[in-house]
A and B are shown apart, each in its own frame.
Chain A
Amino acid sequence: MRDTISDVFAALGDRNRRDIFDQLLEDPNGRTATELSLDATISRQAIVKHLQILVRVDLASTRRDGKEVRYFARRDGAVGASQWLDERSVAWDQRLAALDEKVRTSSRRS
């Protein structure tokens, strides 16, 4: 079974891919690899590879635009990962509050 959440985290673990994903999110008309490469510090070829990974983990979709491929952000692709983070964030806040109370209670006794 494919582990979607891990794939999304792995894909977004790279700063270049996060930057590309951010740019796709900003533009409802999508971007081509050429457009993304205009102000980029990495090559168009590298951008294409990053885009392919975003597509593979469902963070981006594609549509042919003449000779080029236009890439669009898929916001729904990050929902599972976002929920994973939200649930654990709440749980860790509760656990750390319990640990804090435990330590402080012990310190008051000693």
Chain B
Amino acid sequence: MRDILYRELEVPCSADEAWTHVIDPSWLGEDGEWDAVAGGEGWVTSEGDTRYLVVEEVEEARRFVYRWASFSDEPSRVEIELEPVPTGTRISISESPLQARAMASLCAR
């Protein structure tokens, strides 16, 4: 199962403009910052919980992927993709547990 949780949002602006908002982590919580380059690290706080993250992929105005986790929650991987549409830009988000195992490992046990 590639995308366990999937959401979409359409915004009335270009992908370039939407990108500037997506890579500002303030929308992910109450506060936070990250180094928006592959391998960059950061954090986001929300409702008293701090999630620490590592950026995996950055493709400007198209794709942003990161892993994140907190001390109270298991790690997961988030993929954010931007796609131009006639009315603006579609932003799609998918999140899946980072430790989801390949079925080979389940079968082997």
- State the A residues within 8 Å of B (CB): 3, 5-7, 9-14, 49, 53, 56-57, 84-85, 88-89, 91-93, 95-96, 98-100, 102-104, 106-107
Contacts and interface: CB of A to CB of B under 8 A. Distances in A.
B99 interface: yes
A14 B102 CA distance: 11
Contacts, number: 88
Contacts of A96: 7, 9, 91, 93
A10 B100 contact: yes
B74 to A, nearest CB: 7
A7 B106 contact: yes
Centre residue among B22, B27, B107 by max chain A CB count within 10 A: B27
Contact of A95 (B27, B97, B103, B107): B27
Interface residues of B, number: 34
Interface string B65-109: 000000000101000000000000001010111011111001101
A9 B7 contact: no
Nearest to B11: A103
A10 B1 contact: yes
